[in-house]
Amino acid sequence: MSRTKKKQEFERDSSHSGNPHLSKEWERLELYLRGMGIEDSLEIHNTLSKVFEKSNSSDKNIFEIFKEETSVKLHREWESSLPPLEPGSMVPRPIDFGPLADLASPSAEKPEPVALVLTALFWAAVYISLAFWYFS
């Protein structure tokens, strides 16, 4: 077992004084913090230590104290934790990627007139020969 893993377990065990209910709350709140994007173990430990210290001194629910502490810490309201909507121009269209992007770009090369005429003549000959074969 690595030293950091042992240290994290020691800090966890020493912070809740052996109460299994508090241990479950600690794990749950730690999971919330990691889900909010906080990955630093020291910051998580400090935040949760403050929450549990405040819960010991007040009669509020631990989760309510946690919401207050994290909303102050992250400088945002708990309810407005959804990311802001992107403007429509920021959303990429499927045609912006791949080989179609070259065709859709305004800087696409103009096709040569000789190639267009030869292509039209080829397909006209194919359809005319199919028509003669079908009706004969």
At residue 78, the pLDDT reads 44
Distance (Å, rounded) from C-alpha 87 to C-alpha 20? 47
Joined together, the tokens standing for residue 132 give 């003669």
Distance (Å, rounded) from C-alpha 127 to C-alpha 123? 6
Residue 15 near residue 55 (C-beta atoms within 8 A): no
Per-residue model confidence as pLDDT tens digits over 101-122 = 666 556 556 778 898 899 999 9
At residue 91, the pLDDT reads 59
Residue 38 Rama label (left phi>0; alpha psi -120 to 50; beta): beta
At residue 77, the pLDDT reads 45
At residue 128, the pLDDT reads 96
At residue 129, the pLDDT reads 97
With a cut of 50, list the residues of the chain below it in pLDDT: 13, 15-16, 77-79
- pTM over 0.75? The answer is no
